[in-house]
């Protein structure tokens, strides 16, 4: 949804914008094409490879920060005209088996967005309790076989046979998950859960959404593309919370607080895009606009 996302930002030539996940740079390059000489683009990414790609772009209007997008809160208040969040894992990360995100190619069971920080999935599974593993798979993957998968993982670990590779883990999960939606790999939900947990993705998303209210200028746009129901639910609830008048029942005659956002709608990828890029089929884009400064925090 590259074209649709940048259009939703309503780019103004001399303004400042934020791309919270640089990835391959598709959105960033499209934004730069629409910026004038005084326009600025600040990009974030945890992935060292993405940062290197951004640094190779010879454009003084672009600043790349090797940080997760929770660091959005480090920008000055009312300093940007638009924030774009393209959530989830990028295609280069999936396509590189050494990153450990994919169950279609064999590689180390890693899944870290920044491979220089924190434990890998394999290292975490080597220490985590059965209950914790099951909770992660259930809460982040919405997997109904979570308990069985967790028990199977710990049994293999106790036997000194914990899979250290993606195909090994996918095979273990498939032994437990006997039924799955047509065309979906049995390990899809479990791998998704491990990735989201090990990278703290939902916590980071909440922090970034909260920060967007502070850094966006009045009239600025918030554009979020999510690929997971938990992410989309969080974005939907955030926009709804700040775009509806809420009356205090304890003070029914008090004026409601000023609205922070105006919801501008949601969009799904076109049939043509899904056909060209099947990974986009679950994408949902939500757009909101910053309104008056809230009187009540």
Beta strands 62-65 and 284-290, pairing class: unpaired
How many structural domains are present in the chain? 2
**CA gap 204, 224 in Å, rounded:** 14
- Among residues 162, 181, 198, the one where a domain terminates is 198
**153 and 207 co-located in one domain:** no
User: Same domain, yes or no, for 205 and 277?
Assistant: yes
Q: Are residues 15 and 78 in the same domain?
A: yes
Q: What pLDDT is stored for residue 295 in this prediction?
A: 45
What value, to the nearest 5°, has the Cα angle with vertex 275 and ends 272 and 278?
125
Q: How many helices (H) and strands (E) does the chain have?
A: 12, 7
Q: Is the CB of residue 211 less than 8 Å from the CB of residue 44?
A: no
CATH of residue 279: 3.40.50.150
227 domain residue, yes or no:
yes
Domain of residue 149 covers 114-198
Q: Is residue 12 included in any domain, yes or no?
A: yes
Two structure tokens written together for 291? 């309104």
Q: Answer for the pair 85, 144: CB distance below 8 angstroms, yes or no.
A: no
> Does any domain span residue 108?
no
Q: What is the pLDDT of residue 221?
A: 97
Determine, yes or no, domain membership for 105.
Answer: no
Q: What is the pLDDT of residue 244?
A: 76
Residue 100 in domain? no
**Which letter does DSSP use for residue 198 in this model?**
H
Cβ-in-10-Å burial (0-12, 13-18, 19+) of 243 comes to middle
Residues 6+ apart with CB under 8 A from 207: 70, 72, 73
Do residues 54 and 187 share a domain?
Answer: no
Same domain, 188 and 245: no
Assigned token pair, 121: 């999935």
Within the chain, which residues score under 70 in pLDDT? 245-258, 292-297
CA distance 108 to 101: 9
- CA angle in degrees (0–180, nearest 5) for 130-132-134: 70
pLDDT at res. 296: 40
């Amino acid at each position: 949804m590259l074209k649709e996302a940048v259009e939703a930002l309503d780019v103004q030539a001399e303004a400042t914008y934020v791309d919270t996940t640089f990835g391959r740079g598709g959105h960033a390059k499209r934004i730069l094409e629409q910026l004038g000489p005084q326009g600025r683009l600040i990009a974030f990414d945890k992935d060292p490879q993405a940062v290197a790609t951004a640094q190779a772009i010879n454009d003084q209007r672009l600043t790349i920060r090797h940080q997760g997008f929770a660091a959005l809160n480090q920008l000055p208040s009312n300093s940007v005209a638009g924030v774009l969040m393209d959530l989830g894992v990028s295609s280069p990360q999936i396509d590189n088996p050494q990153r450990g995100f994919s169950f279609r190619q064999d590689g180390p069971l890693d899944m870290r967005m920044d491979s220089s920080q924190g434990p890998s999935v394999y290292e975490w599974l080597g220490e985590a309790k059965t209950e914790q593993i099951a909770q992660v798979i259930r809460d982040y993957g919405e997997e109904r076989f979570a308990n069985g998968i967790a028990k199977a993982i710990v049994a293999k670990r106790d036997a000194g046979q914990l899979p250290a590779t993606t195909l090994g883990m996918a095979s273990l999960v498939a032994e437990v998950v006997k039924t799955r939606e047509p065309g979906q790999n049995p390990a899809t939900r479990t791998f998704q859960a491990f990735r989201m947990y090990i990278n703290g993705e939902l916590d980071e998303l909440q922090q970034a959404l909260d920060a967007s209210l502070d850094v966006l200028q009045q009239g600025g746009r918030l554009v979020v593309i999510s690929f997971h129901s938990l992410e989309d639910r969080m974005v939907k609830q955030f926009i709804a919370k700040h775009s509806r008048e809420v009356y205090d029942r304890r003070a029914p005659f008090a004026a409601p607080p000023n609205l922070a956002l105006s919801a501008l709608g949601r969009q799904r990828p076109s049939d043509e895009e899904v056909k060209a890029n099947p990974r986009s089929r679950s994408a949902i884009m939500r757009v909101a606009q910053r309104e008056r400064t809230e009187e009540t925090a």
